[in-house]
Structure 1
Amino acid sequence: MSTPLIELHDVTRRYENGPPALREVSLTVREGEAVAVIGPSGSGKSTLLNLVAGLDRPDAGTVTVAGTRVDGLGEAGAARYRRAKVGMVFQFFNLLDDLTVLENVVLPARLAGTGRAQARRRAGELLEYLGIARHAGAHPGRLSGGERQRVAVARALMNRPPLLLADEPTGALDSASGADVADLLTELNADGQTVVLVTHDLELARRCTSRTVRLVDGQVALDEVVSR
């Protein structure tokens, strides 16, 4: 059995005086898994993603990712953790429109201290692998939504993170582009990339993951392995 990559133990997160966004959640994701986190609005999906990404801290419990106790990191440590161990893909791409595709993809490596030539080689390999090398010199605004999401995936994978977090990655795409991104996530997972997908889209979850975790009112209501 593969090694645990994400381990949450009795995690609770409460905001102000309301009910907990997460309540004593324990969850393990192993290397190489593709897991969909689903649930209605307000169920705790975004909170879970933010805790795993080191963008938020739990009020109780522990969050460990790739051997790092994420819940104990300060701001600088959390930034280093994200650069090294987590790639993130968002609904609205979060690309920098004044940079070219290549420059967007290179950016995480440069921030991590990678040399320019090495970073550009790695970016070129990713753009080729993802089928968008021809757009390296273009600006994101000239690309389709599906192409921009592929650029975002390339950027997320730039520093070879063990974990890819995808937050509603097809939410801003038409159905054809969304299917293309779903196929891409499936291909990445087949190549060994661990993927955690947060989505409202049950068809997307079914199509590109093999395990579904359903959150309801901040608790795990269902955790099942499913067939694609």
Structure 2
Amino acid sequence: MTDPVIDLRGVTRRYDEGPPALRDVSLTVAPGDAVAVLGPSGSGKSTLLNLIAGLDRPSDGTVTVAGARVDTLGEAASARFRRAHVGLVFQFFNLLDDLTVEDNVLLPAQLAGAPGRASRAHAARLLDSLGLARHASAYPGRLSGGERQRVAVARALVNRPALLLADEPTGALDTASGEDVRRLLNELHASGQTIVLVTHDLRLAEACASRVIRLRDGRIEEDR
């Protein structure tokens, strides 16, 4: 039996004196799953994503990703783990405007110490597959929102991560650009990429996810 890519057991996250952001959440995600996490503001969606990425630590419980207990890693080890195993896509792209598209995509590979020639060839293949090859030497500010989000996805995939995490990937896009990203995520899922995406976009969830989880008040209300 294949080990899960994500395994959360009894995870609770408390902040200060308020109610927990997450309450006793247990969750497994198998390789190749595409999971959409839905829920109202304050339901715990972003907290869940941050815990999986190792950007936050649980108050109770364990978080295992790609076979590693990310809840036990220090800050430097957590950053190294993300570079090797987790690709992150954000709502507002987080591209560096003073780097070309190609250099933005290559940055995680350079930080991971990957061989330059192989990384550059892989980045070129990613950009070509995402319809961005002609923009490799352009700067992000010259691209549309949908194109910038595709660059962000290429950057997230350049180190061949076991897991792709996307936080509201269509939230800052117009309708046409959002449709481009929906198609892209659907293609990635079809290719076997494990994906967890947080979204308010029900169309995105229905188009891209094989599984939908709804959170409310820090608990899993539905998992289908």
Which residue of structure 2 aligns with residue 204 of structure 1?
204
How many Å apart are 1:131 and its aligned residue?
1.1
Question: Which consecutive aligned stretches of 4+ in structure 1 deviate over 4 angstroms post-superposition?
Answer: none
CA deviations over 1:4-50 (Å, ceiling 9, x no partner): 11000000000000000000000000000000001000000000000
Q: CA deviation at 1:116?
A: 2.0
Q: TM-score when scaled to structure 1?
A: 0.97
Given residue 150 of structure 2, which amino acid in structure 1 is its aligned partner?
R
How many residue pairs get aligned? The number is 224
The equivalent of 2:86 in structure 1 is 86
Matches of 1:78 and 1:4, distance apart in 2: 19
Name structure 1 gaps, 5 residues minimum.
none
Q: How does 1:171-186 map to 2 (within 5 A)?
A: 171-186=171-186
Inter-partner Cα distance in structure 2 for 1:198 and 1:3: 23
TM-score (norm 2): 0.98
Determine if the alignment matches structure 1 residue 24 to structure 2 residue 21: no
User: Which residue number in structure 2 is paired with residue 75 of structure 1?
Assistant: 75
State the distance in 2 between where 1:46 and 1:63 align.
15
Q: Residue in 2 aligned with 1:96?
A: 96
Distance 1:100 1:132 in 2: 12
For residues 90 and 2 of structure 2, what CA distance do their matches in structure 1 show?
27
State how 1:104-123 maps to structure 2 within 5 Å. 104-123=104-123
Whole-angstrom CA distance in 2 between matches of 1:200 and 1:147: 21
Structure-2 separation of matches of 1:185 and 1:86: 16
Amino acid at match of 2:199: T
CA distance, structure 1, for counterparts of residue 31 and residue 208 of structure 2: 16
Equivalents in 2 of 1:161, 1:136: separation in Å?
22
Distance 2:104 2:193 in 1: 21
Long gaps (5+) in structure 2: none
Matching of residues 138-177 of structure 1 within 5 Å:
138-177=138-177
CA distance in structure 2 between the partners assigned to 1:3 and 1:71 by the alignment: 18
The answer to which of 89-98 and 108-117 deviates more is 108-117
